Copies of this chain bind each other. A is one copy, B any other.
Amino acid sequence: MELILQNLISPVTLAFALGMIARWVRSDLEIPSAVYQGLSIYLLFAIGLKGGVSLSVTPVRELIAPAALTLVLGVLTPLSAFFFLRSLGKLGRTDAAATAAHYGSVSVVTFIAAIEAVKISGMASNGYLPALLAVLEVPGIIVGLLLARESKGAGMKAAIHDVITGKSIFLMVGGLVIGALCGPEKIAGVAPFFIAPFKGVLCIFLLELGMVAAGRIQDLKAAGFRLILLGCFLPLFHGSIATVCAVAVGMNPGGAAVFGAMVGSASYIAAPAAVRLALPKASPGIYLTLSLGVTFPFNLALGIPLFLYLAKNAPKFLS
């Protein structure tokens, strides 16, 4: 409970809430679209850089198990999401596949919120997590698109090209490579821009995200009760499994919790763009509402503290 409150009362989370309120009181607040795009570019590139730097100081051997686990879960979570969305959620093939692509990929902001929560809780984390984030971003989307079995051959190839060269992935991977090549000393020169103000920039970004999410929440009714439940169950299910596995492959408890939040999260930056292009018949009213309107706030409020709790106590169960 204490953990939950600690997590909720932070500038980042409150900025998200402020954005939602802005919509509800019908404020004329608006983040100009150019500014929003500028912020996105900044955040993705910065997170890549950070991950790259930490990669450059992590021995490869230490990385193998976590990276393998990430890949495996990146393939399994969209399958599991697809299964539940079809069976319990009663979605059609295309909508289920589109939504599964979102749950297979990852929400960068949830990841960052988890990192912060771990910092506040004082638990030890793992420096290479941003690299895993980049690894986790892509496969889920591709599996999701394959599940739709709609676009084949050239269409599928084009879709995969679009996902990989899409600006979100491109910037994050680009930042990762630059960070890894430069290492900590050379990145120090750009740290006052890319590292120190990062969390502040995130506040403004979340202000906008809150506004968008508030619009989405109005669509919840249309989505139906079953889907809302799934939007809470899927992150719990995927995230808990991921947390426990992470502890099992030797990650620090803090790192395992972040890993759980990552795997449990649903993308709302990279995946929607890819899905809109490749599966135009899938309804954004379903996949965006679930990922941004249900799963994201759920993780912020409940998911992250839970994964923290689990990570702290998993070692006992495991041994």
Contact = CB atoms under 8 A, between A and B. Distances in A.
B34 A33 contact: yes
Interface in A15-40: 15, 18, 21-22, 25-35, 37-38
Contacts of A189: 10-11, 116, 199
A27 B174 CA distance: 12
Contacts of A171: 29
Task: Count identical subunits in the complex.
Answer: 3
A63 B178 CA distance: 39
Contacts of A15: 178
Interface stretch (A71-79, A93-101, A149-157, A162-170): A162-170
A9 B174 contact: no
Interface string A141-161: 000000000000000000000
A165 B25 contact: yes
A45 interface: yes
A197 B193 contact: yes
A181 interface: yes
Given A35-B38, A203-B190, A11 B182 contact: yes
Interface of A: 9-12, 14-15, 18, 21-22, 25-35, 37-38, 41-42, 45, 49, 116, 162, 165-167, 170-171, 174, 177-178, 181-182, 186-187, 189-194, 196-201, 203-204, 207
